[in-house]
Structure 1
Amino acid sequence: MTFESLNPATDEVVGTHPVHSPDEVEAAVARARTAAGWWAELGFAGRAERLTRWKGVLTRRAAELAEVVSAETGKPHADAMLEIILAIDHTAWAARNAPKVLGRKRRPAGLLMANQSATVEYLPLGVVGVIGPWNYPVFTPMGSIAYALAAGNAVVFKPSEYTPGVGQWLAETFASVVPEQPVFQLVTGFGETGAALCRSGVDKIAFTGSPGTGKKIMAACAETLTPVLIEAGGKDALLVDSDADVEAAADAAVWGGISNAGQTCVGIERVYVHADVYDQFVSLVVAKAQAVEVGKQIGPITMPGQVDIIRGHITDALSRGARALVGGNGSGRFVEPTILVDVPEDAAAVQEETFGPTLTVTKVSSMDEAVTKANNTRYGLGGAVFSRTNGAALARRLRSGMVSVNSVISFAGIPSLPFGGTGDSGFGRIHGPEGLREFARPQAITRQRFRAPLTLTSFRRPEKTDTRVTKLITLLHGRR
C-alpha cells in the first residue's frame, strides 16, 4: 500500500511512499535495537565524527533539500533554506557538546558518605521514535533526531504524511555516511503508522503536533509505559511597551506572525500594545502586512483542513465586532495576511491556535494588563517583548517556555537554549543540554574508597553507631 505527497500550491504529485504496517514498524525497531548497541559503542568521538560528516552533506546539498521542502510544503525556497541552516547549526552543537553534557562527572558524596566516590553519567536510552510535523519538516524533527543520535541512540523517524520526501532525504543522506548499521531509519504512513511506532517498544517517543494528537500519542505510549516528549503548538503573544522601538516591533510582529504563512508553532498570533504607541504600531503593521507578497514571500496553507480553521477564526471574530484592517479573504489554499483589531478576548482567534497568517492586535493601558491577557491561555510555548527598559522583567512574567526580547523567535536559533513549553503546549525539552539529557538516562555510581568510621549499611552495626549518627545529624541540621 502506498500514498502520494502533493505540492499544496498545485496539487502536483511530488512523490509516492509506502504505508508501513505495524509489523514493518516493529521490524524497523528491531533492526534499530541492534544498531543502537553498535552506535553507542562508538562513543562520543566516533558519533561526533559521523554526525559531522552528515552535517557536511546537509550543508553541501542544502539547496537540494530546500527544493524537496518547498515542493512538499509550498513554502518559499528562502524559508526552506533558513530552517535547514538552523538544523545544521543544531546538529553541530549537539555533536560537539554531547561529551560535556552527558559524560561522567563527579558529585560530592557528603559527610555521612565521605568514604564514597560518587559519579553520574548519562547513558543512551536505546531506540528513540520521532514523530515529526509538516510545517518545519527539517528543523523541528532534527531538534530530536540530531540530539538523540548525539546521545548515542538509534532513531526511527515517522515524518508527517504531508512531508515524507523530506524524511526520506534525511534518512538516505545519513545512511550514506553511516552505512554500517541502520542507525537512523524511516517509516512512513498516516496516524496508524505513528500509533504502531508508539507501541513498538521504543524507549522514548518525541512528538511534535497538535495537542489532540499529542494526547493520543500519550495514551498509546501509556500501554507500555513509554516516556514521551510532547511539543504541541502555541498561541504566542508579543508585548509592545510604551518605550519600545515601534518600527522594529511592527516589523517583528508581521514577520513573526505571517512568515511561513503563519504555520509556526512559536509564531506570533496575538499582540498587546500599550495605548501610548498603539496607533503608531497599528499603522506600521498594516503597511507592512499589505506589502507581503502572497505566493512569493509566503506560500499556501500546507494542510488542507487548516484553511477552514483559519477562515473560521476570522469569520467568528468579524461577527463579534472585530475589524480586519488587512485581509480577511483569500482564494483556494492561499490565505492573505490578516490584521484583526477589536477582537474579544474570548474569541477563537485569541484563544485557539489559528496556525495561519493572522494577527490580533489589542490596545492595553499598561504592561500589567498585557501580561495578564498574554497569560490567559491554556498554551505556554513562546513569546516576545519589545521594551527598551523593562524587556527582561516582562519576559520573566510570561508563562511560556521561551521569550525573545526586542526580537521574535530568536531562541529557536540558539542551539544551547532549551526549546519547549507548558500547559497545552506540551512538556519536555529539545535543544541545549536539556535536549541532550531528554534522550539519555542518568546512572549514578558510588565506589567505596576506604572503610567508614561509622558503618551504617550493616546489621552488625552497634547501637552506639546509631547514637553517634543521630548526634551528628542533630549537630549539622538541628539548629534553630
Structure 2
Amino acid sequence: MSATAADSTVTTNPAPGDFASLSPRTGAELARYPVHDGEHVRAAVRRAADSAQWWEGLGFAGRRTRLAAWKKVLVQQLDRVARVVADETGKPFDDARLEVILVIDHLDWAAGNARKVLGRQSVSPGLLMANQAASVSYRPFGVVGVIGPWNYPIFTPMGSIAYALAAGNTVVFKPSELTPGVGYELARTLAEAVPEVGRYPLLTVVTGFGATGAELCRAPGIGKIAFTGSAATGRRVMAACAENLVPVLMECGGKDALIVDADADLDAAADAAVWGGMSNAGQTCVGVERVYVVESVAGRFLEKVRAAASVLEVGSATNEGQLGPMTMPSQTEVVRRHVTDALDKGGRAIVGGADSVPAEGGAISPVVIADVPEDSVAVTEETFGPLVVVNRVPDVDEAVRRANATGYGLGATVFSAKRGEQIAQKLRTGMVSINAVIAFAGIPSLPFGGVGESGFGRIHGADGLREFARPQSVARQRFGLPVGVTSFRRTAKVMQTIVGVVKARHGR
C-alpha cells in the first residue's frame, strides 16, 4: 500500500523508493509511504508559500473559524485518529486517545488566543518621542517546517503546527519515518474541515528519512524550522538551517528528575514516579528518569514504588497492557546498556533487572534500580525506556544539586507539602510540576521547552504563538515638532534643551 502527500488514501501499488510503516506490537506492515526527495520538498514549500498569503489575509477571525472547524473534525474522529497513533507507536489505545484529547485542547487555545497575543498593540513612545504613536504587531514567517518525533507523534508536532497556523503561517510537516500515517491523518482531517485546502494547502506532509528532513531545512522559502528529537540530530538540523540563516526551535529531550521531600505525600509521589517513568514505555522526553528521595522517607517510598511498578503488565499482540513495546526497536539496546551499567556499578534492582530487557526489540518490563552511582550512564544519559533510578539523598539541597548536575534542563517534578515552590525556583529546567507529574504539558497557556542540551525556544502558550511570528515595530508621527531632533536643521539650543530634559528626568 502506498500514500502520497497530496492524498492520504492508500493504494496497493507501492512505488520505487517507498518505505513501510510497521506495527511495533506485531511487526506487520501497516502501510507504505514515499521517500520524498529534494525536488518534491521544494515544490511543497513553494505551494505552501503561495497559500500563506491567502491564509494570512484571512486575519485572526478567519483563521480561528477554520481552525475551530478542524477541531470539530478531530473531536468527531477522535477514535479513528487515535487508532493510527496506537498502531504506529504500539502504545495502548487509551494512551493514544489521551494524546489526541490534548491536541484538541491545545488547538482550541491557540486559535482562540492568537489575536490577543499577536495582534497590534500600542506601546508608550516615551517623553522624548511623545509626538510619535508606537505599536508592535506580530507577522507570520510564511512557511514553517515541522520535523516531528515518533514517541508522541501527534501531540508534540501539533504544539508547533497548531500554533504556527494560528499565527498565520502554513506548515510543511515531516513526521518520523516510524509514524508517517499520523501526519497524513492530520492533513486529511484538516482538508475535511477547511474546503479551501484543495486550492490552498495549509498543512503539507512530506515523508522519508533524515535526508528528507535536511531538504526541508534547506528549501528556499522556509521561514522557520521547529524540530523535536535528540540533541545530536538537532545539531545537524541547526547546521542545515544555518546555510540560509533559517531560525530554529529545538526540543531535544531530557533526563528529568523527581524530588521527594521528607513531608511529601508518598503514595502520590510513588504513583507519579511510576507513571512518569513507565507510561508510553518510558519513551517520554519529560518522563521521570531519576528520583531523588530524602533519606528519612526513602524506605517507605521505595516500597510503594515497588508495589506500583511490579503489577504493571506489558502489552503484546493480543493484550494491550499498561505498557506498549518499544516503538523504535534499536532503543532496546540503549535501555539494556543503562540497566547493565547501573547494576554493575552497585545499583540494587527493586523491580525487574537485566532479564527485563529482551535480546531484540519488543517490549521491556518495568525496571526500578536504587542506589545507583551518579556516574552511571543510567543517571547521566537519556534512557528513553521504562527504567527509573531512585537514589537517596540526605536533604533537599543535595537533591537539587544532583538534579541540576546534567547538561539537560527540560522538566522536573517536586513532591513537597510546604516547599514545592521554593524547590522549583532552584531547578535549572524549563518546566516544573509540583505534587503532580508532567502537568505543565497539559496546560495550553504554559510555554513548553528547555535549556542546555534540552534545546531552546518554546511551544504552547503565548510564548509558543510568538515563536511562530516575527515582531514588527511601527512608529507613526502624530504631529511635527518645531525643529526635528533627527534633522540637520537641529540647533545647539534645541540640543541644550533636550540635554536639560534628560538630566531633569533621569539624573536625580
Range into which the TM-score falls when normalised by the shorter chain? over 0.9
Q: CA deviation at 1:408?
A: 0.3
Alignment of 1:3-22 (within 5 A): 3-22=19-38
CA contact (8 A) 2:483 2:489 kept: no
CA contact (8 A) 2:335 2:357 kept: no
Instruction: Select the residue among 151, 169, 173 that pairs with 1:157.
Output: 173
Question: What letter is aligned with 1:416?
Answer: S
CA contact (8 A) 2:99 2:155 kept: yes
Q: CA deviation at 1:177?
A: 1.9
Q: Does 1:210 align with 2:230?
A: yes
SS in 1 for 2:447: coil
Q: CA deviation at 1:164?
A: 0.1
Alignment of 1:443-458 (within 5 A): 443-453=472-482, 455-458=484-487
Instruction: Select the residue among 410, 419, 424 that pairs with 1:381.
Output: 410
Cα distance in 2, alignment partners of residues 253 and 452 from structure 1: 66
Q: CA deviation at 1:330?
A: 3.2
Question: What letter is aligned with 1:397?
Answer: K
Q: If the length of structure 1 is used for normalisation, what is the TM-score?
A: 0.99
Cα distance in 2, alignment partners of residues 315 and 9 from structure 1: 25
Q: Does 1:365 align with 2:394?
A: yes
Alignment of 1:109-120 (within 5 A): 109-120=125-136
Q: CA deviation at 1:179?
A: 3.3
Cα distance in 1, alignment partners of residues 293 and 450 from structure 2: 24
Q: Does 1:350 align with 2:379?
A: yes
SS in 2 for 1:304: coil
Tell me the alpha carbon deviations over residues 314-363 of structure 1, each in whole angstroms, 9 at most, x when there is no partner: 00111111111111223341111000111110110000000001110010
Q: CA deviation at 1:454?
A: 5.3
Tell me the alpha carbon deviations over residues 41-84 of structure 1, each in whole angstroms, 9 at most, x when there is no partner: 01101100010000011111010111101110000001001111
Instruction: Select the residue among 437, 446, 449 that pairs with 1:417.
Output: 446
Q: Does 1:228 align with 2:253?
A: no
Cα distance in 2, alignment partners of residues 175 and 362 from structure 1: 50
Instruction: Select the residue among 458, 468, 487 that pairs with 1:429.
Output: 458
Question: What letter is aligned with 2:207?
Answer: T
Cα distance in 2, alignment partners of residues 322 and 389 from structure 1: 31
Cα distance in 1, alignment partners of residues 245 and 406 from structure 2: 30
Cα distance in 1, alignment partners of residues 172 and 194 from structure 2: 15
Equivalence for 1:139: 155
SS in 2 for 1:343: coil
Gap runs ≥5 in structure 2: 1-16, 316-320
* CA-atom RMSD in angstroms: 0.8
Cα gap change, 1:462 to 1:168, in 2 (>3 Å): same
Question: What letter is aligned with 2:422?
Answer: A
Q: If the length of structure 2 is used for normalisation, what is the TM-score?
A: 0.93
Cα distance in 2, alignment partners of residues 105 and 66 from structure 1: 39
Range moving further from structure 2, 309-318 or 324-333: 324-333
Cα distance in 2, alignment partners of residues 403 and 409 from structure 1: 8
Equivalence for 1:330: 357
Equivalence for 2:324: 299
Equivalence for 2:318: none
Question: What letter is aligned with 1:269?
Answer: E
Cα distance in 2, alignment partners of residues 346 and 474 from structure 1: 58
Cα distance in 1, alignment partners of residues 482 and 330 from structure 2: 71
Alignment of 1:170-209 (within 5 A): 170-180=186-196, 181-201=200-220, 202-209=222-229
CA contact (8 A) 2:410 2:450 kept: yes
Q: CA deviation at 1:175?
A: 1.5
SS in 2 for 1:325: strand
Tell me the alpha carbon deviations over residues 116-165 of structure 1, each in whole angstroms, 9 at most, x when there is no partner: 11010101110000000000001000000000000000000000000000
Cα distance in 2, alignment partners of residues 32 and 133 from structure 1: 22
SS in 1 for 2:437: coil
Quick one: percent identity of the two aligned structures? 61
Equivalence for 1:24: 40
SS in 2 for 1:268: coil
Range moving further from structure 2, 466-475 or 399-408: 466-475
Cα distance in 1, alignment partners of residues 99 and 493 from structure 2: 66
Structure 1 consecutive aligned stretches of length 4 or more whose deviation exceeds 3 Å = none
Equivalence for 2:7: none
SS in 1 for 2:55: helix
Range moving further from structure 2, 329-338 or 254-263: 329-338
Instruction: Select the residue among 337, 342, 354 that pairs with 1:312.
Output: 337
The alignment covers a number of residue pairs equal to 479
Instruction: Select the residue among 426, 431, 448 that pairs with 1:402.
Output: 431
Cα gap change, 1:345 to 1:461, in 2 (>3 Å): same
Instruction: Select the residue among 74, 96, 100 that pairs with 2:112.
Output: 96
Cα distance in 2, alignment partners of residues 452 and 136 from structure 1: 58
Cα distance in 2, alignment partners of residues 311 and 374 from structure 1: 23
Equivalence for 2:492: 463
SS in 2 for 1:395: helix
SS in 1 for 2:414: strand
Question: What letter is aligned with 1:374?
Answer: A
Equivalence for 2:258: 238
Question: What letter is aligned with 1:340?
Answer: I
Q: CA deviation at 1:472?
A: 1.4
SS in 2 for 1:225: coil
Q: CA deviation at 1:475?
A: 1.6
Cα distance in 1, alignment partners of residues 483 and 271 from structure 2: 67
Question: What letter is aligned with 2:219?
Answer: S
Question: What letter is aligned with 1:198?
Answer: C
